[in-house]
Amino acid sequence: MFEQGGDDALDPIPNAGGKSRLSDTDRAKLAALLQLGARTSEFPTELWTLRRVRDVIEREFDVRYSISNVHVALHSLGFSPQKAVRRAREQNTEAVERFRDVKWPHIKKSEQEGRVLALSDESGFMLQPSSPRTWAPRGETPELICGARYDRVSAISAITISPHAHRTGLYFRLLRGNFNADEIERFVRQVQRAVRRPVTFVWDRLSAHRTVAKRLEGDARFEFILLPAYAPTLNPDEWVWRYAKHHLLANSCPMNGDALERGVRAALGGIAKRQDLLHGFIRGARLPL
């Protein structure tokens, strides 16, 4: 290097990534483009990757960034890598907002009649962990020994909200197999007997739910309200499953169905004792108490 360039070759080379080559105006425009979603920039999906952002910068501003500089630029704009929340294409966002703004306040008025609200849903648990993580030496991928069978535990639960006091509870039932209308009706009756009040169930449009509602039509102890289609996050009970699967049981690896059932029962039983969690799930669904 010295032989080729003489004394000048020893001068420090400026750090190409040390200063942004986008003006403040360019940066503001880039942030606006990113907030519009990747599809508006002619990508096939809405997900932004570092390479996609790099391509947008080059196309829109005629500036070439390295992947590492794109990462720095995004952080400086207030962006961070996040796990996207899935929303079904068929979801009617207007119906969801109408439920929150109009339907839910009307449902809450049932408290004046002494009715308990029960926000209910079903889910399933498998032997394989949902998101296993463990510490291991670099370059050595750890192995997790799990049961290879397809044992499954189905669960149904309901977050209950008592009238007036707004005290929450969680009732659940586990089953080896799937919940049909008969099993769901049995659970509905168990919840009503437990709270000893008339109950308003709020749940999704599963055909078995509609069957149960039809069977119990005319029984003043039960009322059933359907959520908008394709709107699982509108049901706080959905957050019960997320918390159980991705927090309490994230690294669980039971060897058989019995161990799986014990783990699920312990997880849901623990959630049932946490008023703060249940209130948080309701807030997460943006349904005011």
Q: Quick one: CATH architecture of 93-133+145-284?
A: 2-Layer Sandwich (3.30)
How many alpha carbons lie under 13 Å from residue 89 in its C-beta half-sphere? 2
The pairing of strands 199-203 and 222-226 is: parallel
Instruction: Pinpoint the residues of the chain covered by CATH 3.30.420.10.
Output: 93-133+145-284
d(CA 281, CA 284): 5
Closest CA to 212 of 111, 95, 120: 120
* C-beta atoms surrounding 65 within 10 Å: 22
- Give tens-digit pLDDT for 175-198: 998 999 999 999 999 999 999 999
* Residue of higher predicted confidence among 94 and 141: 94
What are the residues whose beta carbons fall under 8 Å from the beta carbon of 4, sequence distance 6 or more?
Answer: none
Mean pLDDT confidence for 106-122: 89
Sheet architecture: strand order including 116-126:
168-175, 152-161, 116-126, 199-203, 222-226
pLDDT confidence of 93, banded at 50, 70, 90? confident
d(CA 50, CA 67): 6
d(CA 19, CA 115): 62
The overall average pLDDT reported for the chain is 83
For residue 52, is pLDDT > 70?
yes
* Residue of higher predicted confidence among 131 and 143: 143
What are the residues whose beta carbons fall under 8 Å from the beta carbon of 129, sequence distance 6 or more?
Answer: 144, 146, 249, 250, 251, 252, 253
- Determine the pLDDT at residue 213: 97
Helix (H) or strand (E) holding 101: none
Residue found under tokens 């360039």 = 5
